[in-house]
Structure 1
Amino acid sequence: MGAQRTSPAQAARPSSVPTPVETLWVRAADGVRLAVHRVRSTGPAVVLFHGVFCNRTVWLGTRGTGFAWFLAEAGFDVWVPELRGRGQSDVPRVWTIADWIEIDLPAIATAVERERPEGTWRWVGHSAGGVVVAAGLGRWSTLRARVRTAVLLGTPSPRRIGLARRLAAATFAAVARVAPRERVPGRWVQLGPEAESSALVRHWMGWNVARRWVGPDGYDYLASLQNVRCPVLGVAGAADRLLAPPSSVADLLRFFGGPTESWIVGRAYGYTRDYGHADLVVAREARQELWPRLRAWLATG
């Protein structure tokens, strides 16, 4: 799986940030080409994984104010992959969340390892990106050996799901079945800027209805989390009542085999307001009151 680099002069970069963004083109095992963006530094490597309906902009932003830049300013070597179907990566006819875990994740890890063969990495995932991080660590022993810590932002357990969320998941899956051209437009659900694969939506919502994370080969990702021994931080927004409620985020942590920590971001916990699902990664207030805590945790974890 080779990687080709776009020179800094060719890569997009926010005018307010002097460090350029490099783009590496990574070929996955099935031939799909993935875009992996990097804000280069010699500091600790951090890989940021987006969720469904999203792309690199959830981390890089559009004006140099995203979480990726916040980490880069402190010297972290920041990697922002775009999974298949997202952003500048290839768009297959269909793809599922299992493709992200089983095919894309190993290819991305190989690219990072080629550039940063020494040391360990930090992984951060938002929403379904956290599912990719968690399931990938549970699945692949080679990745567990390299990842020092993991942060899951708004990533829920499939087990702790109330009736309202299960009904919402079933409805969402039904909508995906009738979506035009096998795509669910992001504007339909207001979860991100991109259209998502109907197959992925059906797959993920099926997991929620069944209360399991199971691959197409029957592999139990949820049970495999017991293999993960690195420290894992779970962060939930106090106002996130449907997608990743605090109780569900905390419940996911109990499946891991190593030390875990749980944060709730809301007024009752010293924050200026109760955060929603997307607020963890895009809210203006997060830069002042949440991101510094995350950065410190990544630096010391």
Structure 2
Amino acid sequence: MTDLQQQSLLVDLNAAQQLHLRYIAKADATGPAVFFMHGAVENGKIFYTHSNKGLAPFLARLGYRCYVADLAGRGESKPAIARGAAYGQTEAICAEIPAFIDKIIAHSGEFPRFWVAHSWGGVLFNSAFARFPEYIDKVSACAYFGSKRSLYNRHLGKFIKGNLIWYWLAPKYAQKHGYLPARQLKWGSDNETIKSHYQSMQWAKVLPWVDSDDGFDYGAALRDKSLPPILHIAGVKDKSLAQPIDIKKFMQESGLGLQELKIYGRSHGHHHDYGHIDMLTHPQAVRDQFQDVQAWFARHA
């Protein structure tokens, strides 16, 4: 019998949309709240399974109260992305993240002190810090798994997954279907709206970090700010989506705060050569990067 409980919390974003937030904790937990954000063509399941595997259950067993988000239309948020869905990452940054935070505060009684992201989720989190600088001092530390904004690496896989698929094929599929059917195409575990794909595609190019809706300049907003301490996690087999060069460029445009990059693979003394997805899902992660996330949070508690 597990010592953890899982519960679905529902957030009414507006009259037409309901967001899903998965709560994972011990029954009597009183530890700090942790906010988890998935990346593009994903949902919150990157952080947990119903059988309590993954990073969120790992931290929950240590006493943390974990809250795993599904962005609008992804995972168990309703309705699922379909033709005509008009929202994108601007809405995720300006409306959905604040709504999740409000729900976490209402449920836990405190602002989420630790933030965890995978891939594009780290870009959304830092964008939220730029839009809502009042969040910064309330967060003790962050851990980002394979988070980058623009792709600088020149690996062959980057040209296939980035230039060929994300920049060329994906817009064609999105226009044909009215949304990007990434799950059906086996490009990811969830779909994207036309707008969310377009906006992330523009930022993945080596272009300014500026919002296409209102021109808000995230890079300029963060230039002189110190964000919470961020542990950046890279995998030695993550050759196309988040090489160290890509992560370092993201770190450089993310303000003045403490940031640390660690690379995970056998050549660095770890138990597995990790890639972009299995840095969170491989069984050996509990012996490697999960331990370092725990130590990072304890260090900055």
State if a TM-score over 0.5 links the two structures: yes
By how many angstroms is 1:148 displaced?
A: 1.3
Once the two structures are superposed, the pairs formed by residues 1-301 of structure 1 within 5 Å of their partners are 17-28=2-13, 32-40=17-25, 41-90=29-78, 91=80, 93-118=85-110, 121-158=113-150, 160-162=152-154, 165=158, 168-171=161-164, 172-179=166-173, 180-187=176-183, 190-215=186-211, 216-226=213-223, 227-255=225-253, 256-301=255-300
Residue type matched to 2:105 in 1? Answer: E
Q: Aligned equivalents of 1:121 and 1:289: distance in 2? A: 23
Distance 1:248 1:103, change over 3 A: same
Structure 1 residues not aligned, in runs of 5+: 1-15
Q: Deviations over 1:86-113 (max 9, x none)?
A: 1111235133222211111111111112
Structure 2 residues not aligned, in runs of 5+: none
Structure 1 length normalisation: TM-score? 0.86
Structure 2 length normalisation: TM-score? 0.86
Distance 1:118 1:27, change over 3 A: same
By how many angstroms is 1:168 displaced?
A: 4.6
User: Secondary structure, in 3 states, of the residue corresponding to 2:43?
Assistant: coil
Q: Aligned equivalents of 2:185 and 2:208: distance in 1? A: 23
By how many angstroms is 1:30 displaced?
A: 7.3
By how many angstroms is 1:203 displaced?
A: 1.7
Q: Aligned equivalents of 1:193 and 1:81: distance in 2? A: 15
User: Secondary structure, in 3 states, of the residue corresponding to 2:5?
Assistant: coil
Q: Contact conserved, 1:153 with 1:235, CA < 8 A, in 2?
A: yes
Q: Aligned equivalents of 1:197 and 1:130: distance in 2? A: 19
Q: Contact conserved, 1:67 with 1:281, CA < 8 A, in 2?
A: yes
By how many angstroms is 1:159 displaced?
A: 6.6
Residue type matched to 1:181 in 2? Answer: H
User: Secondary structure, in 3 states, of the residue corresponding to 1:25?
Assistant: strand
By how many angstroms is 1:224 displaced?
A: 2.7
Residue type matched to 2:11 in 1? Answer: V
By how many angstroms is 1:163 displaced?
A: 8.2
Residue type matched to 1:271 in 2? Answer: H
Say which is worse superposed, 220-229 or 72-81, in terms of deviation: 220-229
Q: Aligned equivalents of 1:161 and 1:220: distance in 2? A: 24
Q: Contact conserved, 1:38 with 1:80, CA < 8 A, in 2?
A: yes
Distance 1:287 1:231, change over 3 A: same
Give identity over the alignment, percent. Answer: 26
Q: Contact conserved, 2:235 with 2:279, CA < 8 A, in 1?
A: yes
User: Secondary structure, in 3 states, of the residue corresponding to 1:196?
Assistant: coil
Q: Contact conserved, 1:85 with 1:95, CA < 8 A, in 2?
A: no
Quote the RMSD (CA, aligned, Å).
2.3
